[in-house]
Amino acid sequence: MSKLSHAQWSSKMAFILAATGSAVGLGNIWRFSYMVGDSGGAAFVLIYLACVALVGLPILVAEWLIGRRGQENPINSMVDLARKNGRLPAWALVGASGVLAAFLILSFYSVIGGWSLSYTLGSVTGAFTGQDADGVSAIFTGLLGNPLALTLWHTAFMALVVWIVARGVTKGLEGAVRTLMPALVVLMLVLVGYGMTTGHFGEALAFMFSPDWGAVTGEVVLAAMGQAFFTLSLGMGIMMAYGSYLGEDVNLIGTARTVIILDTAIALLAGLAIFPIVFANGLSPGEGPGLIFVTLPLAFGNMTGGMILGLMFFLLLTFAALTSAISLLEPVVELMEERTPLSRVSATLVGGVAVWALGIAALMSFNVWDDFLILGLNVFDLLDTFTSKFLLPLTGLGAILFVAWRLDRDSVAAELNLSGGQATLWHLVSRFVAPVGVILVFVSSL
Ligand code: PHE
Ligand code: NA
């Protein structure tokens, strides 16, 4: 457990790119849009934004801070820091539940990564060209109904992830993140532009930003908070692990703000691109996990240059999914490497195969096992619900409570470059607003 075993990020930029690579992914485009649609629109969006600012930001900062002070994998970081502060290693549970969450999330994340790969190929072969809503829906239904195809795409995606993590070339991807992220933003803007031509942009705007508070339930609030955790890669030990590579010179709050603004902007753009298409084609916003796959191909199939733009979009989406997936596998591998005799390559293979196997169960929820329900949920929904609505908020709560209540208040303020009123504000938000927010959301959803 030596501090020397960890190299530090070559630069502040490298760290921002890695954190952004983890944050920006399917959560922004695929999951955000379908959750908004499922939860009835604007109220969900606004609650989500509030959760990002009041809960997400402080927890992101707390995770980085724990990682930077602990300098190790999440579990060891929490244990060591707790010991130094004379506390029981019960805090280790916080780190452990994060690694468990990363493992469970990757299993279904890879299935959707597979869909994205499959749509990349579909764009090249012109499968969407000139299709109407029925045609595009039929393509998606065909994919879902084919467990073999789903397994092949899921396997291909997982194989890419394992290959990259095993070779330890993650850092090599940072440069790519730097160029491909802006490209993704540009393509999203093109899609929003297409949405404006549908004549239903106003309807989409109202759907996303004009709330019907009467329809808000505890369930919707919990879903919004779960999305905030998921999209920022919080409550999984991932940001803690990144923090462990972080130099003292990095301004945690400023960096968190940068990452969060980018992540949120991409999600909102995705919504503004997708919902005009939904309304223009008489589709249902509550379509579920297939929402982007039955809407965006319509745009690409019917706009000039759509084939090449579609190809670029799904390639970029797959790339964004890959960088997130890599960050999900890393903590699992890091833990196995430090706690077992396995080498990095073996640890990656063992972890990857275990995740892959669980992913098979998840993808069968869309076909052969669609009537196999646990607590009324299929395996896919169960994995998603249990992690985003339970494990992540709980782990994140542990992280913020630890920083706010267990670490020395003055040293934390100093580390965050805060003094005076700002230090007080951080103190209040981290001790009360964020944790009470998480607890209230839990309670209100019961
Ligand atoms: N934040 C990623 C996204 O929005 C998903 C993710 C979750 C990545 C958890 C890492 C950890 O797609
Ligand atoms: Na995200």
- Looking at the structure of the chain, the number of domains it has is 1
Ligand 1 atom nearest to 25, measured from its CA = 12
**Ligand 1 in reach of 98 Cβ (< 6 A):** no
Asked if pLDDT for residue 61 goes beyond 90, the answer is yes
Cβ within 8 Å of residue 126, ≥6 positions away: 307
- Among 16-20, 93-97, 134-138, the range with the most confident prediction by mean pLDDT is 134-138
The per-residue pLDDT for 9 is 54
Q: Residue 226 Cα, ligand 2 centroid: separation in angstroms?
A: 12
Q: Which residues of 96-116 are buried (b: 16+ CB within 10 A; e: fewer)?
A: bbbbbbbbbbbbbbbbbbbbb
> pLDDT > 90: what percent of the chain?
76
pLDDT digits (tens, 9 = 90+) for 358-408: 999 999 999 999 999 999 999 999 999 999 999 999 999 999 999 999 899
CA of 383 to the centre of ligand 1 (A): 14
Tell me which of 109, 111, 319 to substitute to probe ligand 1's pocket, judged by most ligand atoms within 8 Å of the beta carbon: 109
Name which residue sits closest to atom 10 of ligand 1, judged by CA: 233
Ligand 1 lined by 234 (C-beta under 6 Å)? no
Q: What is the mean pLDDT of residues 317-329?
A: 96
Atom of ligand 1 nearest to the CA of 238: 11
Q: Which pLDDT value is given to residue 89?
A: 63
**Beta carbon of 22 within 6 Å of any ligand 1 atom:** yes
Q: Is the CB of 238 under 6 A from ligand 1?
A: yes
Cβ(367)–Cβ(145) below 8 Å: yes
As given in the structure block, the two tokens for residue 84 are 């130094």
Interval 168-187: pLDDT, tens: 777 778 778 888 999 999 99
Q: Is the pLDDT of residue 298 over 80?
A: yes
Question: Residue 73 above 50 pLDDT?
Answer: yes
- Using alpha carbons, select from 406, 397, 334, 322 the residue that is nearest to residue 110: 322
- Does 6 have pLDDT greater than 80? no
CATH no. for residue 63?
A: 1.10.4160
- Whole-number Å distance, alpha carbon 89 to ligand 2 midpoint, is 31
Which single residue is written with the structure tokens 């607590």? 375
Establish how many alpha carbons lie within 13 A of residue 303's alpha carbon, considering only the half-sphere containing its beta carbon. Answer: 21
Are residues 96 and 75 in contact, defined by beta-carbon separation less than 8 angstroms? yes
pLDDT exceeds cutoff 60 at 159: yes
Task: Find the mean pLDDT for residues 25-33.
Answer: 98
The predicted model scores a pTM of 0.94
Query: What's the mean pLDDT when you consider all of the chain?
Result: 91
| Alpha helix ranges (H) inside 168-217 | 172-197, 201-209
Expressed as residue numbers, the domain containing 179 is 3-444
Q: Where are the alpha helices (DSSP H) in 125-146?
A: 133-144
- pLDDT tens digit sequence for 424-445: 999 999 999 999 999 998 888 7
Residue 95 CA to ligand 2 centre (angstroms)? 21
Query: What is the predicted pLDDT for the residue at 10?
Result: 60
Mean pLDDT, residues 245-262? 91
Residues 304-319 have a mean pLDDT of: 95
